[in-house]
Structure 1
């Protein structure tokens, strides 16, 4: 697809998401797992170009295994009306998140950098990528990262009916569980475009909705220096940083994190992830 066509389609999708009701504000998740209210702030629409949603009949939604014990029903959560945008707690804590992966060309390099500095992050994965890269998903979990659900095909949820949204979310949770043995406890809507069904279904599946505070705009491939500047200028206690490890050429993201991560650590920031619910 030519660049001008890519940008035109992206603008149309983002405009549609805004018109159909992306979330406007959010709560705060505490480092210890509790919650408190937060000042209203717009939930940004962002991310790489969507992969066109397939018809439900074309999804790879069948159970990944036909044998073995049945899955335990997830603990249902309170239904939110807004996604979580920030974290809170004492000290200079931030949270790093990566969307759209895993991707064998970029995700391993990001994991290597995180391991080098002993940092944990959240990875919101697309199911169609999970089934092709199960070892990477297992590596994420083994190294202490939090794995979240980012739908199967990265569609604009506000254009889907409830059944289609359910299939996108459930099939991805099934694939993640098949990869490392646990179902995800967090969900992020593609483009930050939330609707009532996404909040309700996520809660039914035991997943809290997570958005972000700082967008690196790496999905625009603006240049490594621009990505570094956006992270460093946006750094502040409680922010959630959005980056991507798939969905396009993410070499700039790979190079940028090698620069901004040690800088933030040297500046006194601590990278955290939400606590695991038992």
Structure 2
């Protein structure tokens, strides 16, 4: 009887130790943005990986090891790519998607029946969304860096630049990046007729479907300029939403739309496929600038499509 009691006490101690490890790791995950803000028990350690779910007590040790390994991988990747800090992991996306409406002051005639135009996703989670426009620079290091760091982003492509190397963006798509519409030739849309705008938008829909297998539902007008005809044409081409941006990141700085020159929960961040010919740095330099700013302010980069 004494031996049985000793074995039971020993097993209880091991279980308590395991629970303590899980508690510490889970607390660290929450602090780094891993915990869901909607009450879910799912933990999403990084883009492209399945959420980790708290298991029954018998599997707590394995769960603790998964959390620890995910955090160790983030730390190691941050060191390899010379980030100032380890990026915070995005929380699990909301089960119920936010309702998207056009930002005040961005409306056009008949807006209620047209795709919404917005610069921020409604959310209380400390997340921001990275979007990259055009397609001029095709830096292989960007693909490796973003995959290694598990940083999600969304591309808005213009065919006159993309057609130089469709395969580059196919590799990007294979790594989980959604490829969206930024028109065929990056024209100033309000300067075109309705039919001219429709050719630019629908033509890019056809091009993306031909090369990448799917017609986009997101459209960003060049320079952020649009009118009623732009949104009417976009809707006729199958576009559901028009994300603009609330801040922009370069290799050497951040620029902001708002008066407080700061980030806000749900902000969409713009950058471009650019290199040293246009910037004071490379695309990896841009990512380092972005992640330092975002991480210092306590934000994680989340996947835009998870909130739409």
Matching residue within 83, 87, 106 for 2:121: 87
Aligned to 1:35: 99
**In 2, distance between residues paired with 1:40 and 1:158?**
20
User: What residue ranges of structure 1 are gaps of 5+ in the alignment?
Assistant: 1-29, 44-77, 219-223
**In 2, distance between residues paired with 1:93 and 1:124?**
20
Q: Deviations over 1:195-239 (max 9, x none)?
A: 1111112122221211111133x4xxxxx43x15769x6332111
Contact in 1 for aligned 2:152/2:301 (Cα 8 Å) = yes
For 1:95, what is the secondary structure of its paired residue?
strand
For 2:121, what is the secondary structure of its paired residue?
strand
Aligned to 2:294: 264
Deviation at 1:81, TM superposition (A): 6.6
For 1:173, what is the secondary structure of its paired residue?
helix
For 1:152, what is the secondary structure of its paired residue?
coil
Contact in 1 for aligned 2:189/2:225 (Cα 8 Å) = yes
Structure 1 residues 98 and 191: CA distance shift in structure 2, 3 A: same
What CA RMSD, in Å, does the superposition of the two structures yield over aligned residues? 3.2
User: What residue ranges of structure 2 are gaps of 5+ in the alignment?
Assistant: 1-93
Deviation at 1:259, TM superposition (A): 3.5
Aligned to 2:212: 180
Q: Write 1 or 2 for the structure with the bigger share of helix.
A: 2
Q: How many residues align?
A: 206
State how 1:167-206 maps to structure 2 within 5 Å.
167-206=199-238
Matching residue within 163, 168, 193 for 1:131: 163
Structure 1 residues 204 and 79: CA distance shift in structure 2, 3 A: farther
The 4+ residue runs of structure 1 with deviation greater than 4 A are 36-39, 228-231
**In 2, distance between residues paired with 1:31 and 1:205?**
28
Contact in 1 for aligned 2:130/2:270 (Cα 8 Å) = yes
Taking structure 1 as the reference length, what is the TM-score of the superposition? 0.64
**In 2, distance between residues paired with 1:31 and 1:80?**
25
Matching residue within 154, 179, 188 for 1:147: 179
Aligned to 1:101: 135
Deviation at 1:260, TM superposition (A): 2.9
Which structure has more relative contact order (CA 8 Å, sep 6+)? It is: 1
Contact in 2 for aligned 1:85/1:213 (Cα 8 Å) = yes
Matching residue within 246, 249, 252 for 2:281: 252
**In 1, distance between residues paired with 2:198 and 2:155?**
20
Deviation at 1:189, TM superposition (A): 0.5
Q: Deviations over 1:156-199 (max 9, x none)?
A: 00110111111111121111112221111110011111111111
Aligned to 2:242: 209
Contact in 1 for aligned 2:133/2:271 (Cα 8 Å) = yes
State which structure, 1 or 2, has the greater radius of gyration over its C-alpha atoms: 2
Contact in 1 for aligned 2:134/2:157 (Cα 8 Å) = yes
